[in-house]
Amino acid sequence: MINNPLEHTVPTGDAAKELYALISNRQAAIGIVGMGYVGLPLAVATHAAGFKVIGFDNDAAKVERMNTGKSDIGRIGDDTIQKMRAGGRFLATADYAKLAECDFVIICVPTPLNKYREPDLSYIVATTNGIASNLRRGQVISLESTTYPGTTREVMKPILEATGLASGKDFWLAYSPEREDPGNPIYETATIPKVVGGDGEDAVILACRYYAAVVKAVVPVSSCETAEAVKLTENIFRSVNIALVNELKHIYTKMGINIWEVIDAASTKPFGYMPFYPGPGLGGHCIPIDPFYLTWKAREFDVPTRFIELAGEINTLAPVRVVHTLVDALSKQQRKSVAGSRILMLGLAYKKNVEDVRESPGFRLMDLLVERGGEVDYYDPYVPVVPFTREHANLTGIKSIEWDLDKIAAYDVVLICTNHDGVDYAALARSAKLVVDSRNALADVKDRDNIVMA
């Protein structure tokens, strides 16, 4: 893949040419709004490419930690932040007035759903308003947050142009979806190709010039809407296929067939098949949310999205099915109900080997078990304390128990929600009264009656 198909294409306008030269010479200042799981890795990659980086975040405590060389993300060590700070090309701030110092501004803020499962663009709107208050001629504004097609042009552009500056002439507007995969040992920000769309040809050229300096390759597309649709398509693809294997797991379990063995065997086919795996529910910021952004937008065009919605229903049902399995196992093997039982949930992060709890199915499992009267604790070496989340603020500050097999043996049932590496699952199986495994973590532990697959 060519690093930048537009490498030898120069913008047409004089102001765009000046900015193009600044980017090419690494003299452009890059502002990144949102220093979370997307923004901070992008800041690291941008700094490594030779640019000056200003990281913006509304969390004053986070800003202070970064400016003292501390990282809030496990895969980015404190030493990385310290080196960035020592080089004099990185500053974290909550002062949006410094946006005027940036030549290229990138938005990496959350795009959650509201309680009606409708897109919540409040973070994008608030950030765009903040940028508009400090907008000047000669800037590129690039949105990376996942959203529905049309957001960049229909929501952001009017706010920015209300300043009297025009997109494509005074400033340039782009969309380049984030493709982060926390905990992936193979791919990181700099090695993942970036799809780039823009409001006009110069916007695409300028955005590609910057991103090509930071990542392995760029893939220019014809519009912001196309780039927005690319991100949704990638994650809806995953959502639908995960729903399929979750449905197959339910069917095959009734037939006495091990879904994990089926998937492993099917994966030996070298063509026409891609393995997806069942679990206790969807987690992370993308897969549980992205499909609903498209289904919401599709209503505007009076287009049904039954297939996507059905996948969402199946995946939403996954935690409920896991709890039903736990209820049955506890009744049959321990002669107990959930009410009054001590339950240990192993893993709270949404995927293994990361501290990320965004949209974790673990929270839903805890809620369902507590609603049934269970006394629930959790163990997660990556999440020693439950951080604040908008949907589960009541759980903030709850601490993980320590790994102690004698204490674990006192629980009525252990529910494996996240299959972190480094956990001694064989010892867990020997010590626990009952283990309900929703991740196939105990696949290598044979011939134990106290293990139930969920």
Q: What residues act catalytically?
A: 286
Report how far residue 430's alpha carbon sits from residue 434's, in angstroms, rounded to the nearest whole number: 10
Query: Does residue 343 contact residue 413 with C-beta atoms inside 8 Å?
Result: yes
Report how far residue 32's alpha carbon sits from residue 127's, in angstroms, rounded to the nearest whole number: 11
Half-sphere exposure of 105 (CA within 13 A, CB side): 28
How distant, in Å, are the alpha carbons of 57, 166, 181, 372, 430 from that of 396?
21, 44, 25, 21, 32
Q: At 365, which helix (H) or strand (E)?
A: helix 361-371
Contacts of 160-169 with CB under 8 Å at 24 or more apart are 160/128, 160/131, 160/132, 160/135, 162/132, 163/132, 163/135, 165/135, 165/136, 165/137, 167/199, 167/200, 167/203, 168/199, 168/200, 168/202, 168/203, 169/13, 169/15
Report how far residue 409's alpha carbon sits from residue 429's, in angstroms, rounded to the nearest whole number: 10
